[in-house]
Amino acid sequence: MTSKQQIEILATDEASEPMPKRKRSNRILWIAGPLVVALIAGWFYLTAGRYSSTDNAYVQADQVTIAAQVAGRVVEVAVHENQPVRKGDLLFRIDPEPLQIAVEQMQAQIAAAGDYLNASRDTFRSASADLRASEATLRNHEAQLKRIRELRSRGLVAQKALDDAINDVTTARGTRDSDSASLAKSRTMLGGAVDTPLNELSGYRVVMAQLAKAKLDLSHAEVRAPIDGTIGKMHLQPGDYLNVGQAAMPLVSNSLWVEGNFKETDLTNVRVGQAAEIEVDTYPGHKWKATVSSISPASGSQFSILPAQNATGNWVKIVQRIPVRLSIDTTNNAGLILRAGMSAEVEIDTGAENSLLGRWTANQPHRPQLALDR
């Protein structure tokens, strides 16, 4: 048998043998691989647009600027920089001695005002008596003038007697008018009546209000924390002089939230109340649960000092950013501390898809969105 015949026999034997397992595996991969890729691509297609995300987000907190409400020299600083404080804790104290002197001075003025108004009651009674006397005198002089005129018409008295009688009436009438004005003045000071209670008189109420103001200023000598928070950067030292309204230190609130600046094109399906996840750059891998609490009524550029004037000059369209406020669920923070100003990444689950199937099956109708209060 020739070698050529042997080769043909071997080839025939190999063709008659079954397909190796390796070739069958390759065929399965060629079929299953594209199918898996198609399923994954279909999943992403069906759920496309459900999540809106941005990395332009930061942790925010309310900040209170602690300022003096009365002028004075600082005698005690009870806190230091970066110290946590509770509402009502003493922050610093202004020298209370000048304010205490002002309170004592007003208390003395109240006593003096009481004495003066009580003396006005006596003045009122005296003016009433003087007015009665002057009115009686005027009536007497008027009767005398009438008699003198009758006698003068008969030629029984001289002209000088008539002139003296007229002068006496004029003088008595002036005295009566003066006493009447004094009585009206006393009545006004006593609120219209001599028996008006002291605490209802306007003059007494004025000095009482001044005393209340002096006591309020004295209470402001001790400056206390208005909220729970942490003291920021400060340089206040005992001996510093503070004017009214002068900033002393910042106080950052413990109430934190995240402000995400989303592109306007990413807010199509974002609604107040939707769930979100937040990841802070400081703590990679840890996610905080959050909720959309409000959406700004305008873009960030609208609140700038110089808003863009798009109706003038050459115009280039720029996608605007809309601030979205998210409240953070800190019940599962694993002991991690958030601080205002930290960078974060936000992802909002809108529950809606941009695909055709998603538009048919989305269960959240489009509703007008308004900015909500905090």
The pLDDT profile of the chain, 374 residues, written as one tens digit per residue, is 555 555 555 445 544 445 555 566 666 767 777 777 777 766 666 555 678 899 999 999 999 999 999 999 999 999 999 999 999 999 999 999 999 999 999 998 888 877 777 777 767 777 777 778 888 888 888 888 788 788 777 777 778 877 777 888 888 888 888 878 877 777 776 666 667 777 777 778 888 899 999 999 999 999 999 999 999 999 999 999 999 999 999 999 999 999 999 999 989 889 999 999 999 999 998 999 999 999 999 988 888 888 877 877 778 888 899 999 999 988 877 788 899 999 999 999 988 765 555 455 554 444 444 444 44
pLDDT at 140: 85
Backbone phi, then psi, for 324, in 5-degree steps?
-125, 125
Integer Cα distance of 269 and 172 in angstroms:
94
User: The tokens 């399923």 sit on which residue?
Assistant: 39
User: The tokens 């060629």 sit on which residue?
Assistant: 30
Integer Cα distance of 212 and 218 in angstroms:
10
Q: Tell me if 50-60+252-308+317-361 shares its fold with 99-216.
A: no
Q: Top-level CATH class of 64-95+222-250?
A: mainly beta
Integer Cα distance of 328 and 337 in angstroms:
12
Other Cβ atoms within 10 Å of 278 Cβ, number: 23
pLDDT at 182: 77
Q: Residues 313-317: contacts with CB within 8 Å, 24+ apart? A: none
pLDDT at 369: 46
Distance of CA 91 to the CA centre of its chain: 21
- Rounded to 10°, the helix 97-154/202-219 angle is 170
pLDDT at 303: 85
pLDDT at 49: 65
Which residues make Cβ contacts (< 8 Å) with residue 331, sequence separation at least 6? none
pLDDT at 24: 63
Q: Which two tokens stand for residue 64?
A: 């209170």
Superfamily of domain 50-60+252-308+317-361 in the CATH hierarchy: Efflux pump adaptor protein, beta barrel domain (2.40.30.170)
Integer Cα distance of 112 and 116 in angstroms:
6
Are the CB atoms for 110 and 214 separated by under 8 Å?
Answer: no
pLDDT at 21: 56
Domain boundaries, the chain: 50-60+252-308+317-361, 64-95+222-250, 99-216
Integer Cα distance of 167 and 158 in angstroms:
15
User: At the topology level of CATH, where does 99-216 sit?
Assistant: Methane Monooxygenase Hydroxylase; Chain G, domain 1 (1.20.58)
Integer Cα distance of 351 and 342 in angstroms:
28
Q: Where are the alpha helices (DSSP H) in the chain?
A: 3-16, 21-46, 97-154, 159-189, 202-219, 356-361
Element (H, E) at 258: strand 247-263
Integer Cα distance of 2 and 97 in angstroms:
130
The model carries a pTM of 0.64
pLDDT at 1: 52
β-bridge partners, 231 = 251
pLDDT at 310: 80
